[in-house]
Amino acid sequence: MKSRRTLLVRTGHGSAGVSAVPGMPELPSEAPSAPAHEQAQAPAEVPGPVPERPPMPLDPPDLPPPLPADAPTAFLPPVPADAPTAFPPPVPQGVPEPPSRPPAVPAPSFPDPTPPPATPAFRPLFTDAPGLNWSGPGDSWSHAWAVQMVGEERPGPPQAAATLPGPGPDAAEQPPTARDIELIRASLAVVEPVADRATAHFYALIFLHHPEVRSLFPAAMDVQRDRLFRALLAAARGADDPEALHSYLSALGRGHRRYGTLTGHYGPVGECLVQALARYAGSRWDAETELAWRRVYRLVSSIMIEAAEEAARTSPAWWHGEVVRHERRTRDVAVITVRPDQAYPYRAGQYTSLETPWWPRVWRHFSFASAPRPDGLLTFHVKAVQAGWVSNALVHRAAPGDVLRLGPAAGSMTVDHTAGAELLCLGGGTGIAPIRALVEELAEHGTPVRSVELFYGARRAVELYDLDGLRDLARRHRWLTVRPVLSGTGPTEGALTGELPEVVGRFGPWAGREAFLSGPPAMVRRGVGVLLRAGVPAERIRHDLVGDLAAG
């Protein structure tokens, strides 16, 4: 049997004695310096054999330290007033006489559960997370940010305005110049190879200096980091087209309402962004570049804030939608029908963002698969992609009765019914959803003078899950032609073979057409190139290349 001396535990720099723990009584000055658990497990070393001594009722050195004045007494038995305050001295020989009264039981050794008044009470993070209150209470979180709770200490809303402090308010408030845009693009080119580290540093600054906003973001920040840099690139590259940039930023501002973003958040976010860019832009960063970024960010934030405030006057930050039908078309594809809790405005060809109750604060984009209906129901085609949190939950877990959250409709892939141009539509996989919605809208408007060529592509025949419905539409409307395309194998009557963009190119030229593309990003990019070579002007090619549509 091992001796008790082997149970000694060596403490490192992070160890703390009993006196260092809040609420624990301090040890007497003559107590050993070892931690309490070492004192209880290993006696002090004594040179030579330890002489025998008669048994004693309780050795005085092992007595617990005196209790503090405010120690809890709920576990102490009542002690008479005449109880002895000290143990009698040990009897030198023989058996000692039993005490006339039992000794008092010491109080438990855990600290006082009531912290000192100066120490703020610990409050769990998740009780304050607006994204977790996805049903009901989440609707009032914008108001809760600005209200001080009675009787408790809460961080108030950020007080910084959207205008950033910098090298003089007059200089920073000027609109960006061509030189500013040139500096922005040059610094982004330096940051782009290390974008993952730069965005991680940016969010670290936000959460360190403004921890109250952490609950607005998802638990896993990988996709969120990618979104930030994509937005910066889009803003920098779109500076030459102010109208398109304004439309993009307005949609971004309206969409940020679903996260609980307020006007006061933009100022702190801008400061953290400038600090992160300054760290990773290297030699490209100087006072002139910083001023350019402040000007551009002020413009970006003002557009987003204005769009969000305008949308707040007419629509909620999100809608609740109940799943009323869930149909599995293939192993990984489901057609989901949702009933919103109130009127939901959108156009065929647009998309929305969905959040499930199983992954709070994680939103993904999905296109509407039908034109607006009189009953108000919404239809989505969802494919479960690898590592797709939302798509896998919708395909494999959602069922009638589940409640989702929907953000506002977005996207510009809509038809101008006054133009009268003939249409060319390319839909790959579940990208057929907005194409089908466009066809339904054309049928409702009754425009027989238009002809619509629809190419529906997939790798295997089983993945053409909506082909029968499209062919039924073609039988009812002579202006619609549906051409299935297979890039893999599988028997499908009348199907063309090859990659969808190349097959469409073989049927050209398409110079007089207005083109709509939806599907995997790689297919859309290749399709745009094919159509440009086939004579379709760039301004007549419409698509919404949103990475989240494929990210799940």
The pLDDT value given to residue 241: 79
DSSP-assigned letter for residue 426: E
Q: Which helix (H) or strand (E) holds 140?
A: none
pLDDT of residue 41: 43
Return the H-helix or E-strand segment holding 355.
Answer: strand 351-355
d(Cα 205, Cα 276) in Å, to the nearest integer? Answer: 8
Residues 394, 356 contacting (CB under 8 angstroms): yes
What pLDDT shows up at residue 544? 86
Right CATH number for 169-312 from 3.90.1280.10, 1.10.490.10, 3.30.565.10, 1.10.3720.10?
Answer: 1.10.490.10
Q: What is the pLDDT of residue 163?
A: 44
Residues of the chain whose pLDDT is less than 50? 1-64, 67, 69-79, 83-88, 91, 105, 107-111, 113-114, 116-166, 547-551
SS3 34: coil
* Second CATH level (architecture) for the domain 422-551: 3-Layer(aba) Sandwich (3.40)
Q: Per CATH, is 319-406 categorized as 3.40.630.30? A: no
Q: What pTM does this model have?
A: 0.63
Q: Tell me the sheet residues that pair with 485.
A: 457, 496
pLDDT of residue 200: 87
User: Which tokens go with 242?
Assistant: 């102010």
Domain boundaries, the chain: 169-312, 319-406, 422-551
